[in-house]
């Protein structure tokens, strides 16, 4: 008597609401994403990442109705993306001006989404990221953020910074606040304080929650500072380092750095470091 064929076990997706095809596409370790043109009201912020990018990550690492946190929220890109994805979100921003812009943008997005955003929390706090534990947030299912790339916005030689200085309405630094990590000129101190912010968030992250931190290595005074690698190395003591995705941009004009003398790259990629909160 022949045995009946075994039934295939149905795959239960415990992480997100994506199809198998969408899941597989996201697993590629690199991707090209050229940000759309920035809205006029958020141009003030000197290092905003696109909502479209944040939305792809949020939809992979959460299910609808879960809670997303950005501890360095800027003008609210993560929270706008969370609204579009049907997730609750919380943002913390030190600069009161950026926090207010974020609130305005979030409310405009909420109005545009109509019923799709009904019942969703999207709350922006004006505070220091190091104080988040005192805000009494619900358990967080996913953290998505991008910290300052050290004090590189204060490097006056950057071409983009020169262009922004020519337009008096655009900021070239995050703030002049003494607690702003982007104002620390000592690399080791900056790295220690940045790591401390993320470590302090562990108690409010649910077990199994993922963290995505977008960052890049930086060049200053002819020296390479491996910020992404240093951050990954230090945070893996607290969170499980799961891997990285490399975000590439291919629509930026090349500059002839070191031409005829030395090899100096045009750096058009960021590291999306992936961690998991495991006990």
- The pTM of this model reads 0.86
Please check the confidence at residue 275 and state whether its pLDDT lies above 50.
yes
In sequence order, what E strands does the chain have? 30-32, 67-70, 88-93, 122-126, 140-145, 205-215, 218-220, 223-225, 240-248, 269-276
pLDDT value at position 180?
80
Distance CA 229, CA 82 (A): 28
Q: 127-173 pLDDT, tens per residue?
A: 999 999 899 899 999 999 999 888 776 565 555 555 544 555 554 44
- Please check the confidence at residue 84 and state whether its pLDDT lies above 80: yes
Q: What percent of the chain has pLDDT over 90?
A: 69
Distance of CA 5 to the CA centre of its chain: 47
- Nearest CA to 115 out of 77, 86, 76 is that of 86
pLDDT computed for residue 164 by the predictor: 41
Sign of CA pseudo-dihedral 67, 68, 70, 71: positive
**For residue 147, what pLDDT is reported?**
93
| Alpha carbons 5 and 234: distance in angstroms, whole number | 50
Domains (range + CATH), the chain: 23-34+50-276 (3.40.50.150)
| Residue 43 confidence (pLDDT) | 45
Return the number of other C-beta atoms located less than 10 Å from residue 157's C-beta. Answer: 8
Is the pLDDT at 202 greater than 80? The verdict is: yes
Percent share of the chain, pLDDT over 70: 84
The whole-number pLDDT of residue 151 equals 72
Highest mean predicted confidence (pLDDT) among 18-32, 41-55, 160-174, 247-261: 18-32
Contacts with 276 (C-beta within 8 Å, 6 or more apart), sequence order: 208, 209, 210, 211, 239, 240, 242
């Amino acid at each position: 008597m022949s045995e009946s064929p075994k039934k295939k076990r149905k795959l239960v997706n415990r992480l997100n609401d994506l199809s198998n095809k969408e899941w597989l596409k996201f697993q590629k370790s690199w991707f090209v994403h050229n940000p759309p043109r920035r809205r006029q009201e958020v141009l003030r912020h000197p290092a905003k990442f696109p909502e479209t990018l944040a939305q792809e990550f949020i939809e992979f690492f959460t299910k609808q109705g879960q809670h997303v946190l950005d501890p360095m929220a800027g003008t609210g890109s993560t929270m706008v993306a969370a609204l579009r994805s049907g997730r609750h979100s919380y943002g913390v921003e030190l600069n009161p001006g950026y926090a207010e812009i974020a609130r305005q943008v979030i409310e405009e997005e909420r109005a545009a989404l109509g019923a799709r955003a009904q019942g969703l929390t999207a709350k922006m706090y004006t505070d220091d990221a190091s104080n988040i534990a005192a805000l009494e947030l619900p358990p967080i299912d996913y953290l998505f953020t991008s910290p300052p790339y050290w004090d590189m916005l204060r490097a006056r030689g950057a071409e983009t910074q020169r262009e922004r200085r020519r337009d008096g309405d655009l900021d070239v630094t995050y703030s002049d606040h003494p607690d702003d990590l982007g104002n620390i000129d000592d690399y080791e101190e900056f790295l220690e304080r940045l790591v401390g912010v993320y470590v302090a968030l562990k108690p409010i992250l649910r077990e199994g929650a993922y963290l995505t931190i977008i960052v890049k290595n930086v060049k200053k005074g002819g020296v390479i500072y491996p910020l992404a690698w240093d951050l990954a190395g230090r945070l893996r003591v607290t969170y499980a380092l799961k891997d990285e995705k490399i975000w590439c941009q291919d629509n930026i004009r090349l500059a002839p750095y070191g031409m005829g003398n030395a090899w100096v790259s045009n750096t058009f990629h960021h590291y999306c470091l992936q961690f998991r909160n495991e006990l």
